[in-house]
Amino acid sequence: MLDVITIGSATQDVYLFSKHFRSIRDGQSPNGRAEGFALGSKTEVERILIEVGGGATNAAATFVHQGLRTACACKVGDDAAGNEVVRVLRKLKIGTRFIVRDHDDHTALATIFLGKDGDRTALVYRGASADFTERMLPWRQLRSRWLYITSLGGNVRFLRHALGHAKRIGANVAVNPGKAELAQRPALLRIVRNAAVLLLNAEEAQLLFRAKGRRLQQVVAAWRKGIVVVTEGERGAWAVTPQGAWQLRVKPVRAVDTTGAGDAFGSAFVSALAKRPHDIPAALRLGAINGASVVQVIGAKHGLVDHRIPRGPWMKVSILRV
């Protein structure tokens, strides 16, 4: 039996680097900032980098780095990019037998404009991953100790089916929902109550639980059934469990590329739980170290740590019992 099966998206990530990319103020942008370059002109790009990305493949890479037997379930096109997804996963020793090939659509593509501070703007084409459904997987063959579910393009029926399957085979489920799932708030809240771990960033948690600050932690504590983990970027993270709550503090690092930071944190957190099920502080610590390591290099699968965790001043983390 496998230790983990990841379910979600696989993409081809195309990074574009240019000194002409500018962060500008934009009152119509959700965060007040926008990526800009001169309209109607040719903008020189100094460098490009093509990688395999997507939540399911990024998380799977962490799990194999942590020594867990891992397979990935996703949907790609019957094209060169899809072939590259399969090649990279096999090179990493990630099982590929649950990858679905689409003969009518292309592999998902993300074009990433990378800024000097590590923040990025991504233009995303969902492609073959947009209609990945539960009917496409051989569920009788999907047997593992954990299911790690990332964005499913808003298909909450798929998510419900996956949790039902996990219950039947006695597997734990970790869910890191995407924006399209979060947009279906009532249905998502009902479904993920049965998950062992729910992974969110602060913005997602505020949207899902309709609360902020200390009130957010109180609402999550009253709602939670399993473990809820909320990451807050440079401020760290916190976890609420049936046994209590923990606060993680980290030393900020200089980010080069924040792509995949959430995947790195969440999958490392679950990796630690897979080995030591009740050690929340150790899980938070490994999540923080893996996330901090990844953002210091380009690419979501570079910089991942394993049992030989490198040491350095940026590794300093502290965990407080709340």
Q: What integer pLDDT is reported at residue 234 of this predicted model? A: 85
Residues 86, 142: Cα–Cα separation, whole Å = 18
The pTM (predicted TM-score) of the whole model is 0.92
Give residue 123's identity as a one-letter amino acid code: L
Start-end of H helices in the chain: 55-65, 80-91, 156-169, 179-182, 185-192, 202-209, 213-223, 261-275, 280-294
> Out of 160-169, 176-185, 249-258, which region has the weakest mean confidence (pLDDT)?
249-258
Closest of 3, 2, 4 to residue 150, by C-alpha: 4
Mean pLDDT of 145-167: 97
Residues 189, 211: Cα–Cα separation, whole Å = 14
Q: Cβ atoms within 10 A of the Cβ of 282, count?
A: 15
Residues 6+ apart with CB under 8 A from 167: 194
Q: Cβ atoms within 10 A of the Cβ of 257, count?
A: 23
Mean pLDDT of 158-185: 97
> Out of 107-111, 177-181, 302-306, which region has the weakest mean confidence (pLDDT)?
302-306
Q: What integer pLDDT is reported at residue 310 of this predicted model? A: 66
Query: Is residue 225 within 8 Å of 198, Cβ to Cβ?
Result: no
Integer angstrom CA distances of residue 202 from 19, 66, 123, 157, 250: 30, 26, 23, 25, 16
Q: What integer pLDDT is reported at residue 165 of this predicted model? A: 98
Structure-token match 């490994």, residue found: 286
pLDDT in tens, 113-126: 876 655 678 899 99
Q: What integer pLDDT is reported at residue 42 of this predicted model? A: 84
12 φ, ψ to 5°? -100, 120
Beta-bridge partners for 269? none
Domains along the chain? 2-19+47-321 (3.40.1190.20)
Q: What integer pLDDT is reported at residue 176 of this predicted model? A: 98
Q: CA triplet 59, 292, 313: central angle to 5 degrees?
A: 145
Q: What integer pLDDT is reported at residue 115 of this predicted model? A: 63
For 29, the 3-state DSSP assignment is: coil
Residues 315, 302: Cα–Cα separation, whole Å = 17
pLDDT in tens, 30-42: 777 777 777 777 8
The band of 191, judged by pLDDT with boundaries at 50, 70 and 90, is very high
